[in-house]
Amino acid sequence: MKVLVTGASGFVGRSLVPYLRDCGFEVVAATRKGSRFGEVAITDIGCSTDWKAALMGCQAVVHTAARVHRMKESTLQGMEQARRVNTHGSLHLARQAAASGVHRFIFISSVKVNGESGFFSADSPCDPDDAYGISKYEAEVGLAEIATKTGMQLIILRLPLVYGPGVGANFLRLMQLVQSGLPLPLGAVTNRRSMVYLGNLIDVIRTCLHAPIVGNKIWYVSDGEDISTADLIRTLASNMGVNLCLLGVPLFLLRLGAAVLGKAATARRLLGSLTVNSSPMCTELGWKPPYSMSQGLRATVDWYQAQAAHK
């Protein structure tokens, strides 16, 4: 099977492309430069992107490319740019994919389409509250319409936090904080968070490409295990060999302090619960995570410490 992978140089794409090739897929990797064999240059994703050459002969598309909010952007700028890439760019790609004869379109979405906290399953309402979540939700709606009109099968994978070698953003900052050995006031946090290890995610995508799936699907993906922020920190510290002190500060004080510092959103992620039900996907695909959360966290710490050793 010939597959187009967008965002091939991103966090997910960098691992997905060689994995699919090792599994026997012919992969066209869409990157900004397209300088290597099997790559095609897509310098910008939007309403005018020409995907024809990249799509030639492809039976499936895995659309991992996306735009996240950047700190220096205003709310309006962030919304405009997120919609340009994540919504309009995705729909433009899907229309060209259907016209090119693509049979299956896998869209990498986010649990943020549902919101920032709660337990989410197939019948959960969508209530995004930031530019990224809104743009992904609007893309999901538009893609469903395209799939209905064209007959191209659509698989939407809604992801919680993805971690693994190469991770950045908040998870990387958390590892740096744990490595510092500074006391952290999160010992009393008993929330529950779903996550998905990169190795599990790319295996799910492979399974979705091969499986005889009937109809369009929206699935949540996770490791099948949930963890509290405090236990996540303890596990990272243990794997790093760091003797970390977790202080049991009451949650109301943590929220108050975060609000005073303008970090209320960060506090919601650290202190609140966000879990997903990935059982329907596992049942229908006959899939189970090849890696446990413990294995995934160990691999992530190994990567982090190897990177630090080379600096």
Residue 237's φ and ψ, nearest 5 degrees, are: -60, -45
Residue (of 201, 176, 191) closest to 226 by Cα position:
191
Burial of 285 (0-12, 13-18, 19+ CB in 10 A): middle
Return the number of other C-beta atoms located less than 10 Å from residue 299's C-beta. Answer: 18
Tokens at 171, concatenated: 């998870």
How many angstroms from the chain centroid is the CA of residue 96? 24
Instruction: Using the CB atoms, write b or e for 251-268: b if 16+ within 10 Å.
Output: eeebbeebeeeeeeeebe
How many angstroms from the chain centroid is the CA of residue 75? 22
The catalytic residue positions are: 132
Tokens at 96, concatenated: 């060209």
In three-state secondary structure terms, 28 is strand
Cite the beta strand spans of the chain per DSSP E: 2-6, 26-31, 39-41, 60-63, 104-110, 118-120, 153-159, 161-163, 193-197, 217-220, 226-227, 274-276
Strands 39-41 and 26-31: parallel
Tokens at 45, concatenated: 């994703």
